[in-house]
Structure 1
Amino acid sequence: MLGWIPKAVDSLADRLVFKGWKNDNFNLSQIFQMNNPDIFFDSAIISALIGGCSFVYMGLDKEDFPRLKVIDGRDATGIIDPVTNLLTEGYAVLERDPKTDVPVLEAYFLPDTTTYIRKGGDPETFLNPAGIPLLVPIIYRPDAKRPMGHSRISRASMSLLQGACRTVKRSEVSAEFYSFPQKYIIGLSQEEDEAFEKWKATMSTFLTITKDEEGDSPTVGQFTQQNMTPFTEQLRTFAALFAGENGLTLDDLGFVSDNPSSAEAIKASHESLRLTARKAQRTFGSCFLNVGMVSACLRDNKAYRRQQFYLTEPMWEPIFEPDAAALSSIGDGAIKLNQAVPGYFNTDNLPDLTGIDPSQLPAPVTEDANG
């Protein structure tokens, strides 16, 4: 009704931009580049934020190259190994009837085999060379009690949203009385009251009431008009509580402040969101590495060990893009650190702070005073 829940999810999902792999010894970048990474990563992340867990199904295309498909949490499940965050067995609905939403194609995943079950047909079983079920979970904020993760949409957020919706409904009802305030007339006789047209009196811009036989005239008045301010303040209170629960600000929820904030002020006000995003990057990075590892096993038709991928690290874009002032501060800091420790900052680690890749053009040649 208010759009706060999608805002809470999108505000985090939009800041989690996967950049690539460092020390990519098994050429995982090729696998993801061939599977539409602009949509794949965003789809997997936002589904995991909503449901707490999404899944990536792996298969082979006609050219025997790994094909990745994101499956929402409502269409897949499995038994998870809490140490590796990989499944020991899994089940997924791969295809549904678009009209009836009934499953048409299902799959059961085991470490050595994958069984496909089509509606009205016989099950088909294929060997799995990876040695790991071809269904990998993408998990948001797992813990020992809930290894399948937590949803970004917390119970507190839902309760606060329901309170805000009730406030909006009350304000809608009160707005009718605010637009048409109640009026009253004192002193009408019973005969005059029966002949009095209330709707005409309400909508008319000019009302005439004559005196009675004794020369007395009725008294016309109006009740105190409804005040909308309490509803606005109550809605703002719910917005503040919702923003605090999700690491947002009132500006994010539509309550615009008078003075525009600078980039540093926005970053400072979203400190809780930044910490949440950092945590999500660590978890999602490990899950995407699992996807790459299983895909590499499927591509090379070889069961690699997970320890062989320990050098490969995921890279992410900066959570907050720096503005011109921030870039200047980063440059000054990099110069001072390089003076103290030569080579501390270079083109390999500076993009992690600036979010800007180094230029591929050769550096300009400068001449000294002697030519």
Structure 2
Amino acid sequence: MADYRGVNYLRRRLQIKSERVKMRYKYYEMKNRVKDFQISTPPELRNVQSVLGWCGKAVDNLADRIVFREFTNDNFDIGEIFLMNNPDTFFDSAVLSALISSCCFVYISVDKTGFPKLQVIDGANATGIIDDSTGLLVEGYAVLERDKNKNPKTEAYFTKGDTWIYRKGDETPERIKNNVPHPLLVPIVFRPDAVRPFGHSRISRACMDIVNSAMRTVKRSEIAAEFYSFPQKYVVGTDPDLEPINKWKATMSSLLEFTKGEGGDKPQLGQFAQQSMSPHNDQLKMFAGLFAGETGLTLDDLGFVTDNPSSAEAIKASHENLRLIARKAQRTFGTGFLNAGYIAACLRDNYPYERRQFYLTKPKWEPVFEPDAAALSSYGDGAIKINQAIPGYITQDKMKDFTGI
């Protein structure tokens, strides 16, 4: 225990980091509030908040394209562990959580039969000290359960060979020993680097700032729409001794009568220039372009139709940046899932395997973009020509990697 930072250190670290994760979940769930500059907004509307789902679109558009298929050369049958842990929900939940919070964690335990059980914990409820060379944790901490006030009710501290369970109200933690050479908490990281080994969130600071500006633009456009629908009118030259005109009735009425004054002067009617919605539309489109450039999306993805319906190849070409981001995410997520399978296999077999024994096992993913009929035809022609030059080079498995079929 002398080399570990300890549970108290990790508790404090999680308290610092969790606020950033919660903020990004607010943007994903469209619950973020935007500061009003209080310049053009009437006082009665300053508490009104507009809603914009661009951050959720940026996350979902990428998460829906990252689909895990299987492990090849699975010498230790780790695929069976994932199959017994509801893989349709597990992989999607882990990918989505890692994209939002930059890192999620897989908590590995055993069920009543002794088989490994996998649980995804978001970045706001778990943290640890990571080993940069393996991507595994040296020690970890997670909040497994919270009470109705969001205070920790059940916590877990992970070290090599031990898991300590802290329950609210108990004086001493429960110690659960295992024969695993690493903690039973595995990180799944999105875009890690040497400075930030726990990765970067898909909802970057630029994304949040652009969405804030766009939400203020939407709010201003709604206010301007009221003046656009009912432009301001005026009447000059009325008799001051007459009863004042009911403004709302005068606006909605189809017939008004004005009489001459005592001096024979007749009132003159007029209308101010109607406010235009174009500046708000242009500004919102500008922010949409900035957000699309930041996330690898297109204006069509954000609701601005620019061209006629495109073919599958045209859509793929316009999303080249998104494809590169997805391929990068597949590589880092694949390492995380393989690490989780490795730890789970050690727990299942009650044997401390070495990580290098799993070097042959590789994760496989579905294609980022599904090909259409024209693409399938071109793939077939290409496979025939390649196999004529190098017999047997394009196999059934390689075609499945290209097409998903």
Fold match, TM over 0.5?
A: yes
Q: Which amino acid aligns with 1:329?
A: S
Q: 2:217 aligns with which of 153, 158, 167?
A: 167
Distance 2:377 2:245 in 1: 76
Alignment RMSD (CA, Å)? 1.0
Q: Provide the residue aligned with 1:105 in structure 2.
A: 154
Distance 2:154 2:106 in 1: 16
Q: Provide the residue aligned with 2:239 in structure 1.
A: 189
Q: Which amino acid aligns with 1:64?
A: G
1:242 and 2:291 correspond: yes
Distance 1:186 1:195 in 2: 13
CA deviation map 1:292-318 (0-9, x unaligned): 000000000011101100000000000
Q: Provide the residue aligned with 1:226 in structure 2.
A: 275
1:83-162 alignment runs, 5 A limit: 83-97=133-147, 99-121=148-170, 122-162=172-212
Distance 2:387 2:244 in 1: 93
Measured after TM superposition, the shift of residue 95 of structure 1 is 1.2
State which drifts further: 32-41 or 153-162: 153-162
Q: Provide the residue aligned with 1:75 in structure 2.
A: 125
Distance 2:396 2:153 in 1: 51
Q: Provide the residue aligned with 1:33 in structure 2.
A: 83
Measured after TM superposition, the shift of residue 338 of structure 1 is 0.1
CA deviation map 1:255-279 (0-9, x unaligned): 1234100000000000000000010
Distance 1:15 1:292 in 2: 22
Structure 2 residue matching 1:250: 3-state secondary structure: coil
Measured after TM superposition, the shift of residue 100 of structure 1 is 2.1
Distance 1:191 1:223 in 2: 26
1:51 and 2:101 correspond: yes
Measured after TM superposition, the shift of residue 36 of structure 1 is 0.3
Structure 2 residue matching 1:185: 3-state secondary structure: strand
Distance 1:288 1:39 in 2: 14
Measured after TM superposition, the shift of residue 190 of structure 1 is 2.6
Q: Provide the residue aligned with 1:8 in structure 2.
A: 58
Structure 1 residue matching 2:74: 3-state secondary structure: coil
CA deviation map 1:61-115 (0-9, x unaligned): 0110000000010000100011111100000011122x32222111000012110
1:252 and 2:301 correspond: yes
CA deviation map 1:24-73 (0-9, x unaligned): 00001100000000000000011000000000000000110000000010
CA deviation map 1:151-193 (0-9, x unaligned): 000111111111111110110110111111100111123323x
Structure 2 residue matching 1:191: 3-state secondary structure: coil
Q: Which amino acid aligns with 1:71?
A: I
Distance 1:202 1:107 in 2: 67
How many residue pairs match? The answer is 354
Measured after TM superposition, the shift of residue 196 of structure 1 is 2.7
Q: Which amino acid aligns with 2:353?
A: Y
Distance 1:30 1:73 in 2: 26
Distance 1:85 1:330 in 2: 36
Structure 2 residue matching 1:181: 3-state secondary structure: coil
Measured after TM superposition, the shift of residue 140 of structure 1 is 0.3
Q: Provide the residue aligned with 1:321 in structure 2.
A: 370
Measured after TM superposition, the shift of residue 198 of structure 1 is 2.3
Distance 1:89 1:103 in 2: 19
Q: 2:325 aligns with which of 276, 288, 297?
A: 276
Q: Provide the residue aligned with 1:60 in structure 2.
A: 110
Q: Provide the residue aligned with 1:352 in structure 2.
A: 401
CA deviation map 1:203-243 (0-9, x unaligned): 32211111112222110010011111111111111111111
Distance 1:200 1:349 in 2: 74
State which drifts further: 252-261 or 7-16: 252-261
Q: Provide the residue aligned with 1:339 in structure 2.
A: 388
Measured after TM superposition, the shift of residue 200 of structure 1 is 2.2
Consecutive unaligned residues in structure 1, runs of 5 or more:
357-371
Distance 1:139 1:301 in 2: 27
Consecutive unaligned residues in structure 2, runs of 5 or more:
1-50
Measured after TM superposition, the shift of residue 285 of structure 1 is 0.4
Q: 1:294 aligns with which of 332, 335, 343?
A: 343
Which runs of at least 4 in structure 1 moved beyond 4 Å after TM superposition? none
State which drifts further: 101-110 or 198-207: 198-207
Distance 1:29 1:299 in 2: 13
Q: State the identity %.
A: 66
Measured after TM superposition, the shift of residue 354 of structure 1 is 0.9
Measured after TM superposition, the shift of residue 353 of structure 1 is 0.3
